[in-house]
């Protein structure tokens, strides 16, 4: 491999300055987990998220060079989102930690583009930025970049960061010094995430059936939630962190995010407010929030389900 044209250490330093908790680099090649992803699709585990199964995305997932011709390196970053703020579950119900503040798509791509621009100032290059918005098997590349291993709950895990972090990537057409892949796995015989899932959505280690997943139903599913599942949702109204909350690596981690845009917003509606929230107020109070994804109708359905579950509990 030729000598890198930009220092990997300098890239990591700049990534840290931009607010990323970790940064790793991998050399581009064919994706090794594509066949497992295709098996997952064949089993229908993606539910009705049909965009995931688009045929034109297959070659791009298989090889990032189909996305960026002549790509040679991929930079993988992690942004931590667990804060030390107290969350009043009795008032607000349960919302996944990453979604309590501003949608990370509002600012994380900008940070990655700033990193790409900085790299371009060191050496001319072409690059593409991704934050779960394209056909990139990001957990595989993060593992190959040394950021962690894929746990039994399908999340990327780090002994330092746990799993409360978001992933992003930059594809580059220049050679960079790669990190050592994270080939070790530290889940051992632990099955706490599998055992704790109330809907049995983790059907095997590292295999999740979205048809049963609380996150899928409270975010992506636009239809009525099947009653036999809904009664197991507790008071989760957006996403679910159960498999992360029980993970020993998250309980051992002392890392907390310092990114203010991920802190809980002041105008978060209460469970009861959701039921009578006007569209105009929803748009204002939840501006740039992940909670816009299910739309007001979906959030009201979720809040109603949560309140019903509380009555039954």
pLDDT given for residue 57 in this prediction: 79
Of 63, 103, 132, 179, catalytic: 132
pTM here is 0.94
CB 112 within 8 A of CB 59: no
Q: What whole-number distance in Å separates Cα of residue 25 and Cα of residue 7?
A: 11
User: Is 132 one of the catalytic residues?
Assistant: yes
Phi, psi of 157 (to 5 degrees): -115, 145
What Cα–Cα distance (Å) separates residue 211 from each residue in 6, 151, 197?
44, 20, 13
The mean pLDDT value for 294-300 works out to: 97
Which of the four pLDDT bands, split at 50, 70 and 90, describes residue 54? confident
Choice between 258 and 241, residue whose per-residue pLDDT is larger: 241
* Half-sphere exposure for 268 (CA within 13 Å, toward CB): 23
Tokens of 125: 């290059």
Mean pLDDT for the chain overall: 95
Q: What whole-number distance in Å separates Cα of residue 3 and Cα of residue 74?
A: 16
pLDDT given for residue 55 in this prediction: 79
pLDDT given for residue 261 in this prediction: 94
pLDDT above 70 for 148 = yes
Nearest to 104 by CA among 271, 263, 261: 261
């Amino acid at each position: 491999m030729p000598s890198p044209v930009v220092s990997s250490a300098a890239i990591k330093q700049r990534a840290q300055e931009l607010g990323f908790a970790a940064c790793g680099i991998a050399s581009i090649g064919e994706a090794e987990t594509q066949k497992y992803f295709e098996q997952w699709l064949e089993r229908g585990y993606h539910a009705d998220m049909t965009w995931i199964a688009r045929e034109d995305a297959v070659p791009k997932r298989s090889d990032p060079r189909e996305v960026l011709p002549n790509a040679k390196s991929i930079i993988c970053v992690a942004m931590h989102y667990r804060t030390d703020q107290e969350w009043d579950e009795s008032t607000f119900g349960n919302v996944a930690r990453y979604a309590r503040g501003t949608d990370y798509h509002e600012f994380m791509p900008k940070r990655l583009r700033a990193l790409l621009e900085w790299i371009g100032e060191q050496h001319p290059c072409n690059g593409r930025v991704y934050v779960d918005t394209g056909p990139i098997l990001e957990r595989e590349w993060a593992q190959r970049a040394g950021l962690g291993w894929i746990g039994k709950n399908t999340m990327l895990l780090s002994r330092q960061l746990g799993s409360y972090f978001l992933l992003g990537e930059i594809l580059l057409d220049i050679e960079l010094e790669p990190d050592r892949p994270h080939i070790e796995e530290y889940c051992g015989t632990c099955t706490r995430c599998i055992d704790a899932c109330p809907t049995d959505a983790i059907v095997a280690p590292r295999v999740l059936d979205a048809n049963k997943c609380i996150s899928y139903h409270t975010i992506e599913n636009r239809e009525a939630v099947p009653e036999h599942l809904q009664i197991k949702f507790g008071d989760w109204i957006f996403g679910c962190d159960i498999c992360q909350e029980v993970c020993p690596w998250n309980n051992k981690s002392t890392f907390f995010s310092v990114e203010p845009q991920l802190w809980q917003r002041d105008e978060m509606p209460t469970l009861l407010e959701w039921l009578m929230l006007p569209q105009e107020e929803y748009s204002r109070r939840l501006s740039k929030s992940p909670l816009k994804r299910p739309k007001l109708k979906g959030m009201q359905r979720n809040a109603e389900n949560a309140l019903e579950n509380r009555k039954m509990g």
